[in-house]
Amino acid sequence: MQPYAERRARALDAFRGDVAVIPSARIAPRNADSDFPFRQNSDFFYLTGFDEPDAVLVLAPEHPVHRTILFLRRSDRVQELWNGPRLGVDAAAGRLGIDAAFPIDELAARLPDYLCGAQTLAYALGMDETTDRTIHAAIAAAHARTRQSGRAPRAIADPGGVLHEMRCIKSAEEIALMRRAAEITRAGFVAGMRATRPGLHEYDLRAILEYEYQRGGAQGVAYESIVAGGDNATTLHYVANRARLEAGTLVLIDSGCELDYYASDVSRTWPVDGRFTAEQRAIYEIVLAAQTAASAQVAPGIARNVFHETAVRTIVEGLIDLGLLSGSADENIERETYRDYYMHGTGHWLGLDVHDAGRYRGDDDRPVAFRPGMVTTVEPGIYVRRDTAGDSRFAGIGVRIEDDLLVTHGGHENLTESIPKAIEELEAIVGSAVGARA
């Protein structure tokens, strides 16, 4: 549990003078007697490595005895018979390396003691109504106890100001997990490429990718896989994944595995029948050039808006060359006419969440600069919807190419570089599985 203890120590230093309360996730009912698969709150997991619901971590830097306290479920033989073992209160402190552990049903009674003496409570309001009520009652009780002397929190602040900045810089252990997640994701994409042929359905490719994720040891997907054939690729978050794959069209897949809570996030686009048409090739080459140019701007000290602006300019110039935009590049960028074809940002932080924690602008409202240890996606795209196509030859073509880049001291490392994306690579591999070629 050493990485988690180190993170808690850093958080305690950052929250000095305050108290932080970080709840776990709760089990969410799906329907009737069925629940959604449990997925731990990322901030809570980052600090504890504890994978059970109905728990709360308290960080009390100024407390004379307990600085790290966990409230969790009691052992329950009957519940464990149905749902699996629990860590239990007695084993928690020793197993997790915290100062004290108490039953979760004692949170309301014990929390005011830890709040006494604090100036601010670091707690994310609005995530869970039940916990919010407990927090407000605990603050009131703490104030009642300190009415004559001492102090209690008079403000509530989001702990993300501390924790999310910590999470934005990945440790060696986190980077190793993300490299492995990228390798597993590569296996899924390559298997999907090899199996692709006209007549399959989008769900066939989804099943192939996600089978390889599970086979590689991942616990599941980092988000709902997008498998978008033909016109479906022009819908950014298409997740129906039910349509038939037709010859002469492209399929856009945006998917990634989750390994030990760490995400991979990759997009590739390839021809269903293994050969790009001239129009598909033209759009694809623009997106690939934009991704290459944008990726070159991912390095320490470079403001993160630069890679987006680089991608935008490359795409605008390409669309002008194709006749889908007219006028100068500067005019189109200023008027944002390109947003008919490219309407999203070029990347986001990646880590415990697929859209990971961390600010994009600093306190001065300027874009943050890349620092070693950050991981960002780079994912330009072009989407020619039929209702906006300036040239019918390109109507229905959607292309996105996305990689995961780790910022290093010397530049960056592309964690997903080995997943084929060059046109020649794709045409060689798509449909190459036995019997897949038409």
**360 in catalytic set:** no
| Residue 210 backbone phi and psi in degrees, to 5 | -75, -25
Which residues lie closer than 8 Å to 109 by C-beta, 6 or more apart? none
Q: In 3D, which of 4, 121, 145 has the Cα closest to residue 70? A: 4
What is the C-alpha to C-alpha distance for residues 34 and 206, in angstroms, rounded to an integer?
Answer: 24
Pairing state of beta strands 120-122 and 100-103? unpaired
Which tokens go with 8? 């808690």
Among the options 204, 265, 353, 404, which is catalytic? Answer: 265
d(CA 304, CA 359): 11
- Unique residue bearing structure tokens 């995961």: 404
CA atoms within 13 A on the CB side of 107: 24
Q: Are 352 and 261 in contact (CB under 8 A)?
A: yes
Active-site residue, from 281, 355, 385, 393: 355
C-beta atoms surrounding 64 within 10 Å:
7
Q: 254, 258, 353, 403: which is the annotated catalytic residue? A: 254
Report angle CA 215, 167, 36 to the nearest 5 degrees: 45
Could you tell me the CA-to-CA distances from 310 to 116, 207, 304, 342 in Å, in that order?
51, 35, 10, 13
φ, ψ of residue 83 to 5 degrees: the values are: -120, 0
66 is catalytic: no
- 237 annotated active-site: yes
Question: Which is catalytic among the residues 204, 379, 403, 404?
Answer: 379
Gap between the Cα atoms of 220 and 233, Å rounded: 23
What's the rounded Cα separation, in Å, for the pair 259 and 180? 8
Catalytic residue among 16, 154, 237, 335: 237
Q: Exactly one of 304, 383, 403, 412 is catalytic; which is it? A: 383
Active site residue 379: yes
Cα–Cα distances (Å) from 297 to 143, 152, 294, 375, in that order, read: 51, 47, 5, 13
The active-site residue out of 18, 43, 174, 402 is 402
The catalytic position among 348, 356, 404, 412 is 348
**Phi, psi for residue 71 in degrees, rounded to 5:** -105, 130
Q: Is 406 exposed, middle or buried (0-12, 13-18, 19+ CB in 10 A)?
A: buried
Q: Considering 400, 403, 404, 412, which one is annotated as catalytic?
A: 400
The catalytic residue among 10, 344, 359, 385 is 344
Structure tokens at 137: 């009652």
* Residue 254 annotated to the active site: yes
Is 348 labeled as catalytic in the residue annotation?
yes
| DSSP 8-state assignment for residue 245 | P
Positions marked catalytic? 33, 237, 254, 265, 344, 348, 355, 379, 383, 400, 402
